[in-house]
Homo-oligomer: A and B are copies of this chain.
């Protein structure tokens, strides 16, 4: 900063004004300062971050739900990377409402965050284009951006669901249900796709009343599972589409006499201490968050490569519930 001021022949305060877009600088002075910044090889974000005097560096995190335990380790990992990079983290949630995501992301930009990590609820992120053009770094996590090209860190959702359903098939199941989150949520769509692919790959028919996409409200999940588990064509196994569904499924199944096998997408605390232990396809939410945040800070440090999509594998953890055989 001193070098910029010396080269432009102005004071530190003037450099700060130019970088922060504050008034009180003549056009001539501004162009001298900008030339000095360029000559000294500052990149736009760098200079803004380093020179933004009197303001703590910060990044924003837009989550889908503050109360979903899946996002807890993800948030903490983003915050740890932020801290390592001398930044504060501000988090908020969209509650899965697209307009709310936009409002929150733009409100964070208006408060001069340097970058955003977003778990998107919207299916149109063009509202971010002016912010990105103005130098805000943006990385999407858990779900990709829509209608803009942006960095994203995802789990291989379809592949994980395929593995989980194939595991149930390998244990003898043929009538396998799927209960997932609402359609058009990227992760929900990908997981049901993996389910269908695994069934098809093993020559098994999918009855449409074995597939239920909707919210994760306990009442809905309970009703759908009880429906699928009754009648002559009752399912013998369930693949649950996320941790919220799994927790309700565990509760419903614990009340039943006839066991139904269960594999859930997402690991959760104490899954190993239940009887039977709950077999899951585990994501690594801390690694998702860490990878996304590190990508963000590389962008803030001036990396200019094309947007990348990183996909992390899911991991099958057998614990008992997914290895129950179908009734004879």
Q: Which residues of A contact B (CB under 8 A)?
A: 23, 55-56, 58, 60, 65-69, 72-73, 75-76, 79, 83, 88-93, 95, 103-104, 107-108, 110-112, 247, 250-251, 254, 268-270, 273-275
Contacts and interface: CB of A to CB of B under 8 A. Distances in A.
Identify the 7 closest CB pairs spanning chains A and B, nearest first: A67-B76, A67-B72, A111-B111, A90-B90, A66-B75, A56-B107, A91-B91
Contacts of A88: 92, 103-104, 107
A112 B91 CA distance: 16
Nearest to A68: B72
B58 A66 contact: no
Most buried by B among A68, A89, A254: A89
Copies in the complex: 2
Given A274-B273, A275-B275, A69 B66 contact: no
Most buried by B among A66, A72, A103, A251: A66
Nearest to A269: B247
Contact of A92 (B65, B91, B251, B270): B91
A60 B92 CA distance: 10
Contacts of A91: 66, 90-92
B58 A107 contact: yes
